[in-house]
Structure 1
Amino acid sequence: MPVLDPISHALAAVVAGAHSGLTALGADPSAGTTWLLCIATVVAVVRLALLPLVVRGVRQAHAAARARPHLRKITERYRDRKDAESLRKMMAERRLVAAEHGVSRLGCLPLLLQLPIWLALYHLVADVAAGTPVGAMDAGLAASLGGATVLGVSLAGRGYLGAGGTHLAVVAGLAAVTAVVGYVTQRYLVATNVVTADLPEAVVSAQQLMPGVAAVGILGAGGVVPVALLAYWLINALWTLAQSAVVWRWFPTPGSPAALRQAA
């Protein structure tokens, strides 16, 4: 994706820099563990860079939760008034309440800003694992990563079958652990930190299904993506688990099951 090239090249520089640093410290430049540490480094750099957006997202969730009861009262007060003037007044009152509690009209913009980075990182790992140079990850480094192995399994290898029992065990293990970590994060940390009282039943049902759907998706993707990308997904999922646990424990959304649990 040419539009993502500047981001991909910046991330490639991080991976190449991590590889150079680890090699300078005595790590084997072609070892699978060295490349796994490089992948972990780029995950850490990206997640730390995105931390301000995460903090903003948590603050916005709290602001929206504080404003929700007041917005509900306004909606109830204007429920049977459908004329243009009443609708104008209702929207003006809602904007006033939102401003009073610090609810941003930008909504999910912080999440949208993260998507190009995740897409660029996905393509970077997938392309380099396939031997395609990207920015600072030149042909030599791409070939090194593509030829690296972990437990005898190539980081460039794909699919569950066709490469022996060890390959199957490693790929299935990475996919299964990633799926479980993602399911636990979404089902027990993220979902319980969301206020669903005012949401339509269909939306609540969809939210309850998403952790399982995402887990099945990871298991399916495990059969087609490179092992290096599975390793990236697992490392990223573990970071998300830890980050979500911190928010769930110390910064729960007011009115959510997580907040009620902490107050009990």
Structure 2
Amino acid sequence: MDFLGTILWPLKWVVELLLVTWHTVLTALGLDAAAGLTWVLSIVGLVLVVRTLLIPLFVKQIKNQRRMMTVAPQLKKIQDKYKGKRDQLSREAMSRETMALYKDTGTNPLGSCLPLLIQMPIFFSLFSVLNNAQHGTDGVGLLRGDLATQFGSASLFGVAPLKSSFQAAMNDPAGPQVTVMIIAAIMVVIMTASQFITQLQIVSKNISDETKASPMFKQQRILLYILPFVFLFSGFAFPLGVMFYWLTTNIWTMVQQFLIIRSMPMPGTAAAREREERLARKGKSEKTDDAGETIVIEEKKPAQRQQPMGKNRAKKAAQQGRPTEDGSTPSTPPVDPSGKK
């Protein structure tokens, strides 16, 4: 076993456990155990479990991004303080002050990358599991024997093996597998489009106006249109099973990102202004605390105006024990024993 295989062994075991568990459940519900659709749904179930477990980490990522925006002015002061100083002592001092700022504010500059960094080993593990199935090799966990054979030979619609890719179908010794190539090409296009839409909704709605005016943002916007081509060409080498995993997780990310941008937008962005308008129509307002958390405050509705009550009406209300206009119950005036009020 190579070095990468040794590192991925525990994750491959978990991936196989989840795949076999979902496959068992779907088979018990009446689906064909050897059908490609059953294994595709098992891969979708794998994504649902993984992404559900990553929700707390994703929420932590959003909060960390808000804290980073909060400390951005202080970070800029440190950078301006040592601007133009290239000696070793100045660089070390700037690094110490920056790390101290991160520590005091509880921010992590790498926090935004954690969900992606955690998903990548799972992605490679699934790729390795499919690669083993392609060569007829048993898995490291529960995917052995008949299950490994079923998974290795499973085909979508009975014509597109999950272990096959566009590249493998094009270079097939028996000749190009056109049907497999068409299905793989459609999967690559949909997968790339979902990735692009996810990033586009962040750039268009959840980036502040100040950030949009910076040269760095212009470079990132160029990458927004270049990266889809990278995924487009690299996707042709991925097996169909891996592409189903990638497409499902892209759709999850797109929906999750939409909900986060709508409910927890970054301050100073178009999404934040839209949220303020929605809250204003509902009679609510919001403010941001020191940690960057958004607090929604519901404004009190004005109390209903009480109609003035005349003396005769107030006297009658006192005799009947009804409350007056100020909410109090007036007492009946004392009666003089002589009969005079």
> In the superposition, relative to structure 1, how do residues 178 and 63 fare at CA in structure 2: closer, same or farther (>3 Å)?
same
Identify the structure with bigger relative contact order (alpha carbons < 8 Å, sequence gap 6+): 1
2:264 is aligned, of 226, 248, 251, to 251
Equivalent pairs counted in the alignment come to 262
Equivalent residue number for residue 62 of structure 1: 66
**Contact 1:129/1:228 (8 A) holds in 2:** no
> Share of identical aligned residues, percent?
27
Query: Are positions 1:241 and 2:289 aligned together?
Result: no
Give 1:89 deviation, angstroms.
7.0
Shift in Å, 1:11: 1.1
Determine if contact 1:190/1:248 at 8 Å carries over to the other structure: no
Residue from 143, 147, 160 that aligns with 2:149: 143
CA contact (8 A) 1:129 1:146 kept: yes
TM-score (norm 2): 0.66
Output aligned runs, 1:39-54, within 5 Å.
Answer: 39-54=43-58
Q: CA RMSD in A?
A: 3.2
Matching residue within 197, 211, 231 for 1:197: 211
- Using the TM superposition, give the Cα deviation of residue 137 of structure 1 relative to its aligned residue in structure 2, in angstroms: 0.9
Mapped partners of 2:80, 2:217: distance in 1: 21
Distance 2:183 2:238 in 1: 13
Q: Is the 8 A contact 2:130 2:152 kept in 1?
A: no
Distance in 1 of aligned mates of 2:81 and 2:227: 40
Q: 1:132 aligns with which of 137, 143, 146?
A: 137
Quickly say closer, same or farther: Cα 1:88–1:2, change in 2 above 3 A: closer
Quick one: structure 1 residues 210 and 224, their matched pair in 2 at CA, closer, same or farther if it must change by over 3 Å?
Answer: same
Q: Counterparts of 2:194 and 2:264 in 1: how far apart (Å)?
A: 21
Compare CA radii of gyration and give the structure with the larger one.
2
Runs of 4+ in 1 over 4 A off after TM superposition: 77-97, 105-109
Aligned residue for 1:30, secondary structure, equals: coil
What is the deviation of 1:90? 5.8
Over 3 Å counting, the alpha-carbon distance change for 1:204 and 1:12 in structure 2 is same
Checking the alignment, whether the CA contact within 8 Å between 2:61 and 2:111 is kept in structure 1 is no
Distance 1:227 1:89, change over 3 A: closer
Report what 1:118 is aligned to.
123
Moved more, 175-184 or 149-158: 149-158
Aligned position for 1:14: 18
Q: Deviation at 1:41?
A: 0.8
Q: Among residues 177, 201, 215, which one is paired with 1:163 in the alignment?
A: 177
Q: Does the residue aligned with 2:31 lie in a helix, a strand or coil?
A: coil
Structure 2: 5+ residue runs without aligned partners? 171-175, 278-341
Deviations along 1:206-247, whole A, 9 cap, x unmatched?
Answer: 422333333223322343222222222211211111122122
Cα 1:118/1:149, change in 2 over 3 Å = closer
Deviations 1:22-56, CA, capped at 9 Å, x for gaps: 11121110112111110001111111222222122
Q: Which is further off, 103-112 or 5-14?
A: 103-112
Q: Secondary structure, in 3 states, of the residue corresponding to 2:142?
A: coil
Residue of structure 2 equivalent to 1:216: 229
Other-structure match for 2:187: 174
